[in-house]
Amino acid sequence: MVNSVTNLGRSGVFDWMIQRVTAYVLALYTVFLFGFVLTTDINYDSWSALFDQTWFRIFTLLALLSIGAHAWVGLWTVTTDYIKATLPRFLVQALCGLAMFVYLVWGIQILWGL
Question: Does 83 or 5 have the greater pLDDT score?
Answer: 83
3-class DSSP assignment, residue 88? helix
Amino acid code (one letter) for 78 = V
CA dihedral in degrees (38, 100, 20, 7; nearest 10)?
Answer: 180
Mean pLDDT to the nearest integer, 26-42: 96
**pLDDT digits over 101-113, tens only?**
999 999 999 998 8
Please state which architecture CATH assigns to domain 9-112.
Answer: Up-down Bundle (1.20)
Q: Is 82 annotated as a binding residue?
A: yes
Q: What is the pLDDT at residue 10? A: 63
Whole-prediction pTM value?
0.84
Q: Is 29 annotated as a binding residue?
A: no
Q: What percentage of the chain carries pLDDT values higher than 90?
A: 83
Q: What is the pLDDT at residue 12? A: 81
